[in-house]
């Protein structure tokens, strides 16, 4: 949120430009992290040794044990460095072709943390029953896939795992011999061997270390590590894990969110490295982060995609500890090196071969995002802080007076008495329930912050309950309660790894007390929750976080679970909201910190950004990267959390927000008020138009969310995801497609722009969404890819419709999304280069779970142009039919087109059909055989246009067809 206390105390001494800025000294570099130093030094030794370097790890062939069903095998692994230490390997193949490789120390002094995957995975993966492992002289291998073109090979010597497709290497583990699992040991075990050289008094002691070629000469930060003013006791000694992952034929890699950087990740090693430090995954409270940096931010998803024009693959490394990742480029591919502080090797190889396949494989592991409450897709108004009940009511009234739609008002930490979350500051919020109900009366919602730190005050019922249950994080001694410093001052943190905390947390959110227990009775069943500071942020802790030797449930150190910690907080908050009402309503939870699987529990935002053009631009890249990591419900704070954006920047940032899955304006407590109604004209009207555009397109967004919840494919789709064979689009990260709608947007993120260059990958006609200007398909004599110039004055958003798309909207301005539930639809039919189009819309009640029992409407729209219809000309047919009845795409047990929800919207009609790309005036337009429908043709070029011009447009007014009904429109020329 804002800077730590020490900066607040010093703030009055510093100029404003320096008070709030990224403080590099608050966070370690690799050179300041013992285990990262060791990992990078290992890589340097391997590079220096060249072809003579050999991995010390190998499989004992005699130990191989095939499972009876042939789905997996286990084997013993030995290290030539420590032959007395035992490691175990487990390899298994899932039903969908994913390969899981696990290695752990067996029978060691201690147990390595092996539960990261348990938290990340939505369920135990289904193991294939159709795999036949073959054990050869030097390797175990299996061939599988529908075409029998995928092969996984595990070599005994040097322990190398390779995934092939069509005989081509896709991903290789330990190809460079950097695998190293530091085993548990005692300090006595680490003393070098001493021998005497010479005789008598001339003797000298020689210390031999025959492992130095691999591990180095020094015991670098093995048993204790001091950084800045903190000392990490490291009671377990060295336990890091090093693993190299190579993509021999893929030069673009993506993912490992969260970082402020390009979508196609820049390198960190080699002569032309983009960064000098590795990418870091260590959830951190970083305010005013740099806009191009490998520095760790608030969330960590250890998932990396690799892509070329022929295939996409990915790896998911299920580790929850601090992790650094080097990326280097080879002539044909990419080399990566993953260095983690603790944990077992637990890597999933996702074979693809397309981006869509990878999304499906990953979300089968970690789960898809749930279908959110419909109101959560609207506009959210927030700042730190709305200072009173009257302030909230005033903001709502002003937005209504200016006819600006909004769905949610947010309260930051100052609503609470002494920052004791759940407890209202009655001086400024004397009537919290009445205030919330005033907002809900207009079918809006309130979202209220609840942070994970609890004020250490025995009169605070939330803290007292957690303390009495002994469910708070412990200090390194393993007893008592860890005490740190956060917003309330002296604080403790709930240990959500402790199952005892779960029911306790559920009970807090009940709006009625149960059995006399304290609960949040001054709330309602509709309130959304904002989980902030859950990295966790500790103002007086190392790297503004919790000491790594703190102790969690089960005796695990915080170092083992740091990156998972924030997800469990959000998980239990989501669970609490699910149990708050009966029947349950869809929870809304926003989190800052996240891990693999967090997409199952709500939305995320990109943290404490700054009101600059650069932060606006990098926010788009970060949201795209989070989508690749499975977390598609995200956005950046509109306007920037820090700073005071000028009107031009604010208008452009609302344009970015309107095309983000999560659309929230937010501001720092020291920032000027910047609610959209405060701007002067013409900027105020521009913001109103942007907000109305978002609301008009809510059917598009909700339909895209349904697809993401079913398939895992993100809502915002980068160029390479939509056109995976076009190498020119692999690095593009400033434009994207919205779901499967055919909408292509390039938000403007530079000052003074009047036009934008938009890259088009396919030989298809595109239309300007607002003006219907055509960007025709290129002729066969020129390259199919091209860049077009699109108008982008301040009041314009570069937004194109791909030919062949049908886009459903609701055009009537309302004050909130719920008030649109019975509004009619407009369909924009953008004809393709062959005169066809498709689209869909998904609807349900937007609040409950009836859709899981078939209570929804899912329609498919189509258009087709045929020669020789009535008369001598063409005939264009446009239709609607039930999408859910087509099979293979619906996960409900029972579906009836006449379900209760469908009946409830049977009166909702299509009020207008706009057909774009109609080059001649029709002679007849009929709807279901009735030719009395009103229509208008606006002259222009047709879908076969060869030069840029205005498209001809046919507008069919009130065709009197239902959105939930089958119908057909025939247009004869």
Tokens standing for residue 403: 């006819």
Mean confidence (pLDDT) of the chain = 94
Please state the φ and ψ torsions of residue 627, each to the nearest 5 degrees: -60, -40
- Burial label, 200 (beta-carbon count in 10 A; 0-12, 13-18, 19+): exposed
Are the beta carbons of 487 and 413 closer than 8 angstroms?
A: yes
- Burial label, 469 (beta-carbon count in 10 A; 0-12, 13-18, 19+): middle
Q: What value, to the nearest 5°, has the Cα angle with vertex 836 and ends 835 and 841?
A: 145
Which residues have a Cβ under 8 Å from the Cβ of 730 and sit 6 or more positions away? 252, 264, 307, 719, 720
Find tokens 């938000």 and name the residue: 747
Tokens standing for residue 556: 């695990």
Residue 783 has pLDDT above 90, yes or no: no
Residue-level pLDDT at 581: 95
Please state the φ and ψ torsions of residue 170, each to the nearest 5 degrees: -105, -50
Residue-level pLDDT at 458: 97
So which residues are the catalytic ones?
A: 532, 535, 608
Query: DSSP of 753-813, one letter per residue?
Result: -SEEEEEE-SS--EEETTT-BEEPPPPTTS-S-EEEEEE--TT---EEEETTEEEEE--S-
Residue-level pLDDT at 932: 86
Whole-number Å distance between alpha carbons of 150 and 142: 8
Residue-level pLDDT at 195: 54
Long-range Cβ pairs for the range 756-759 (8 Å, 24+): 756/789, 756/790, 756/792, 756/798, 757/787, 757/788, 757/789, 757/790, 758/787, 758/788, 758/789, 758/790, 758/798, 758/800, 759/719, 759/728, 759/729, 759/732, 759/735, 759/785, 759/786, 759/787
* pTM of the predicted model as reported, rounded to 2 decimal places: 0.96
Q: Residue by residue, what is the 3-state secondary structure of 819-865? A: HHCCCCEEEEEECCCCCCEEEEEEECCCCCCHHHHCCCEEEEEEEEE
Residue 77 has pLDDT above 70, yes or no: yes
Residue-level pLDDT at 826: 98
Lowest mean pLDDT among 515-529, 868-882, 932-946: 868-882
Whole-number Å distance between alpha carbons of 789 and 198: 82
Q: Give the distance from CA 326 to its chain's centroid.
A: 21
DSSP 716: E
Residue-level pLDDT at 891: 54
Tokens standing for residue 37: 């130093």
For residue 884, CA distances in Å to 372, 843, 858 come to 20, 12, 6
- Please state the rounded mean pLDDT for residues 371-385: 98
Residue 868: count of CB within 10 angstroms of its CB? 9
Are the beta carbons of 687 and 656 closer than 8 angstroms?
A: no
Residue-level pLDDT at 584: 97
pLDDT-derived band at 188, boundaries 50, 70, 90: confident
What percent of the chain clears pLDDT 70, i.e. is strictly above it?
A: 94
Residue 871 has pLDDT above 70, yes or no: no
Where does residue 694 fall: left (phi above 0), alpha (psi -120 to 50 degrees), or beta otherwise?
A: alpha
According to DSSP, the residues that pair with 807 across neighbouring strands are 828
Residue 392: count of CB within 10 angstroms of its CB? 23
In this predicted model, what pLDDT tens digit does every residue of 417-464 receive, in sequence order? 999 999 999 999 999 999 999 999 999 999 999 999 999 999 999 999
In this predicted model, what pLDDT tens digit does every residue of 529-583 receive, in sequence order? 999 999 999 999 999 999 999 999 999 999 999 999 999 999 999 999 999 999 9
- Cis check: omega of the bond before 546, within 30 degrees of 0: no
pLDDT-derived band at 197, boundaries 50, 70, 90: low
Nearest-CA neighbor of 859 among 723, 966, 960, 747?
Answer: 966
Nearest-CA neighbor of 625 among 264, 251, 121, 252?
Answer: 264
In this predicted model, what pLDDT tens digit does every residue of 260-292 receive, in sequence order? 999 999 999 999 999 999 999 999 999 999 999
Residue 282: count of CB within 10 angstroms of its CB? 21
Residue-level pLDDT at 18: 32
Residue-level pLDDT at 199: 61
Please state the φ and ψ torsions of residue 246, each to the nearest 5 degrees: -115, 135
Whole-number Å distance between alpha carbons of 153 and 172: 10
Residue 73: count of CB within 10 angstroms of its CB? 20
In this predicted model, what pLDDT tens digit does every residue of 308-339 receive, in sequence order? 999 999 999 999 999 999 999 999 999 999 99
- Please state the rounded mean pLDDT for residues 701-727: 98
Residue 19 has pLDDT above 50, yes or no: no
Are the beta carbons of 300 and 286 closer than 8 angstroms?
A: no
What percent of the chain clears pLDDT 90, i.e. is strictly above it?
A: 91
Query: DSSP of 891-914, one letter per residue?
Result: --S---TT-HHHHHTTT-EEEEEE
Long-range Cβ pairs for the range 131-137 (8 Å, 24+): 131/70, 131/71, 131/93, 132/70, 133/66, 133/70, 133/73, 135/61, 135/64, 135/66
Residue 744 has pLDDT above 80, yes or no: yes
Could you list the beta-strand ranges (E) of 149-296: 150-155, 160-165, 168-173, 180-181, 193-197, 204-208, 225-227, 230-232, 241-247, 252-255, 279-281
pLDDT-derived band at 6, boundaries 50, 70, 90: very low
Residue 201 has pLDDT above 80, yes or no: no
Find tokens 């938009």 and name the residue: 758
Q: Where are the alpha helices (DSSP H) in 472-513?
A: 500-508
Nearest-CA neighbor of 694 among 391, 335, 379, 420?
Answer: 379
Q: Which helix (H) or strand (E) holds 359?
A: helix 355-366
Whole-number Å distance between alpha carbons of 572 and 452: 11
Nearest-CA neighbor of 285 among 515, 534, 74?
Answer: 534
Residue 676 has pLDDT above 70, yes or no: yes
Following CA atoms 526, 532, 534, 540 in sequence, which dihedral angle do they give, to the nearest 10 degrees?
A: -140
Whole-number Å distance between alpha carbons of 306 and 168: 14
Please state the φ and ψ torsions of residue 724, each to the nearest 5 degrees: -70, -10
Are the beta carbons of 821 and 827 closer than 8 angstroms?
A: no
Tokens standing for residue 248: 């021999």
Residues, the chain, total? 973
């Amino acid at each position: 949120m804002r800077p730590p206390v020490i900066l607040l105390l010093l703030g009055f001494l510093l100029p404003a430009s320096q008070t709030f800025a990224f403080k590099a000294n608050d966070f370690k570099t690799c050179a300041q992290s013992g285990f990262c130093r060791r990992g990078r030094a290992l890589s340097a030794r391997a590079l220096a040794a060249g072809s003579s370097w050999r991995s010390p790890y190998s499989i004992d062939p005699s130990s191989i044990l095939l499972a009876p069903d042939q789905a997996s095998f286990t084997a013993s692994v030995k290290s030539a460095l420590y032959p007395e230490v035992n490691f175990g390997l487990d390899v298994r193949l899932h039903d969908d072709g994913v390969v899981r490789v696990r290695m752990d120390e067996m029978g060691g002094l201690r147990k390595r943390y092996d539960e990261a995957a348990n938290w990340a995975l939505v369920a135990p993966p289904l193991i294939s029953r159709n795999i036949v492992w073959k054990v050869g002289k030097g390797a175990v291998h299996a061939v599988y896939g529908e075409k029998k073109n995928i092969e996984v090979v595990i070599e005994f010597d040097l322990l190398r795992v390779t995934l092939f497709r069509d005989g081509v290497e896709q991903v290789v583990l330990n190809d460079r011999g950097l695998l190293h699992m530091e085993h548990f040991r005692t300090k006595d075990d680490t003393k070098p061997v001493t021998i005497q050289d010479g005789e008598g008094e001339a003797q000298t002691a020689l210390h031999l270390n025959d492992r130095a070629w691999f591990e180095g000469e020094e015991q670098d930060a093995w048993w204790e590590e001091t950084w800045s003013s903190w000392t990490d006791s490291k009671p377990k000694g060295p336990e890091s894990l090093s693993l190299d992952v190579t993509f021999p034929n893929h030069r673009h890699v993506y993912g490992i969110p969260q970082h402020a950087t390009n979508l196609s990740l820049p390198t960190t090693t080699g002569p032309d490295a983009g960064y000098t430090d590795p990418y870091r995954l260590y959830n951190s409270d970083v305010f005013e982060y740099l806009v191009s940096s490998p520095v760790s931010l608030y969330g960590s998803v250890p998932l990396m995609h690799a892509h070329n024009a022929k295939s996409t693959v990915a790896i998911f490394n299920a580790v929850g500890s601090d992790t650094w990742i080097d990326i280097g480029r080879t002539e044909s591919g990419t080399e990566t090196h993953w260095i983690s502080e603790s944990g077992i090797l637990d890597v999933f190889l996702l074979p693809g071969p397309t981006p869509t396949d990878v999304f499906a494989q990953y979300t089968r592991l970690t789960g898809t995002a749930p279908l959110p409450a419909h109101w959560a897709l609207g506009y959210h108004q927030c700042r730190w802080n709305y200072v009173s009940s009257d302030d909230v009511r005033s903001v709502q009234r002003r937005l209504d007076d200016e006819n600006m739609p909004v769905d949610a008002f947010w309260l930051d930490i100052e609503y609470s008495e002494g920052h004791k979350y759940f407890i209202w500051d009655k001086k400024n919020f004397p009537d919290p329930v009445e205030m919330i109900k005033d907002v809900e009366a207009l079918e809006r919602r309130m979202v209220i912050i609840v942070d994970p730190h609890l004020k250490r005050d025995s009169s605070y019922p939330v803290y007292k309950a957690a303390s009495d249950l002994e469910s708070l994080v412990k200090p390194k001694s393993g007893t008592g309660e860890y005490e740190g410093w956060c917003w309330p001052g002296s604080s403790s943190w709930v240990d959500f790894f402790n199952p005892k905390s779960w029911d306790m947390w559920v009970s807090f959110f009940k709006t009625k007390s149960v059995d006399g227990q304290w609960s949040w009775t001054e709330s309602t069943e509709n309130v959304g929750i904002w989980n902030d500071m859950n990295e966790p942020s500790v103002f007086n802790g190392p790297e503004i976080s919790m000491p790594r030797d703190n102790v969690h449930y089960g005796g695990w150190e915080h170092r083992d679970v740091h990156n998972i910690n924030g997800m469990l907080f959000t998980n239990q908050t989501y669970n609490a909201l699910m149990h708050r009402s009966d029947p349950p309503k869809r929870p809304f939870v926003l989190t800052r910190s996240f891990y693999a699987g967090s997409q199952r529990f709500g939305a995320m935002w990109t943290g404490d950004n700054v009101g600059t053009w650069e932060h606006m631009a990098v926010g788009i890249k970060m949201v795209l990267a989070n989508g690749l990591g499975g977390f598609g419900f995200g956005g950046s704070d509109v306007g920037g959390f820090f700073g005071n954006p000028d009107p031009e920047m604010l208008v452009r940032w609302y344009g970015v927000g309107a095309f983000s899955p999560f659309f929230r304006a937010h501001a720092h407590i020291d920032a000027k008020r910047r609610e959209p109604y405060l701007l002067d004209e013409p900027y105020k009207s521009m913001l109103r138009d942007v907000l109305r555009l978002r609301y008009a397109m809510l059917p598009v967004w909700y339909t895209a969310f349904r697809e993401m919840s079913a398939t895992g494919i993100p809502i915002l789709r980068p160029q390479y995801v939509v056109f995976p064979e076009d190498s020119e689009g692999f690095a593009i990260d400033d434009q994207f497609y919205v779901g499967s709608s055919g909408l292509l947007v390039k938000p403007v993120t530079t000052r003074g722009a009047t036009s934008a260059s938009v890259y088009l990958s396919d030989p298809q006609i595109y239309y300007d969404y607002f003006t219907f200007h055509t960007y025709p398909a290129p002729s066969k004599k020129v390259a199919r890819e091209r860049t077009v110039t699109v108008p982008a004055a301040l009041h314009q958003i570069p937004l194109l419709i791909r030919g062949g798309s049908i886009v459903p909207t609701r055009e009537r301005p309302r004050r909130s999304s719920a008030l649109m539930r019975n509004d009619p639809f407009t369909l924009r039919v953008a004809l393709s280069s062959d005169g066809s189009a498709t689209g869909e819309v998904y609807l349900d009640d937007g609040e409950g779970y009836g859709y899981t029992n078939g209570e929804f409407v899912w329609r498919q729209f189509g258009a087709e142009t045929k020669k020789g219809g009535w008369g001598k000309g063409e005939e264009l047919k446009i239709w609607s039919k039930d999408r859910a009845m087509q099979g293979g795409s619906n996960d409900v047990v029972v579906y009836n087109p006449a379900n209760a929800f469908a009946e409830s919207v049977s009166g909702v009609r299509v009020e207008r059909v706009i057909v774009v790309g109609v080059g001649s005036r029709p002679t007849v337009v009929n709807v279901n055989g009735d030719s009395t429908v009103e229509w208008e043709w606006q002259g222009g070029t047709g879908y076969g246009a060869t030069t840029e011009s205005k498209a001809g447009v046919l507008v069919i007014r009130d065709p009197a067809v239902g959105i939930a009904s089958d119908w057909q429109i025939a247009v004869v020329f």
